[in-house]
Amino acid sequence: MKAPLNADRDIRDLVPHAGAMCLLERIVSADDASVVCATTTHRSAANPLRHEGRLAALHLAEYGAQAMAVHGGLRGDAARAGMLVAVRDLKLHVERVDDVEGEILVEARRLIASQNGLIYAFSVRAGTGELASGRVSVMWPESRAR
């Protein structure tokens, strides 16, 4: 059985993102292996990822990466900036998300954690439909080969 983590935390305290670039708004649930976050920032005209008034589905990989950071913060890792080094197996089921009604749910599930970085699988859904899924890899800058 997976132990729940304290999901009553402010996301801004858990991620290295600030201001409008903090894309997730609340934690729905979390345990040692995964987190589910919710947000409506995909609808905001002030979303910094928008281009010509639209938010491409490709940016859902950033939402997944931020959910990954939230999960790390909940597990006790200090919010620190990492480098997004890979997005793999990305499946986009829509072209854009600024027109998706209501909240979107972003789930991140830890696959690999090491002193050099992390790999998480993520999925983003609205209602009963999946919008995107894939894997994101983050590497800590201080762990790069010199």
Give the domains, in start order, of the chain with CATH numbers.
11-143 (3.10.129.10)
Residues 6+ apart with CB under 8 A from 23: 17, 39, 41, 42, 47, 49, 62, 63, 66
pTM of the model: 0.88
**pLDDT > 80? residue 60:** yes
pLDDT in tens, 97-121: 999 999 999 999 999 988 888 899 9
Cβ-contact 141, 83 below 8 angstroms: yes
Least confident of 17-31, 91-105, 132-146: 132-146
| Cβ-count burial 46-73 (b if 16+ within 10 Å, e if not) | ebebbeeeebebebbbbbbbbbbbbbbb
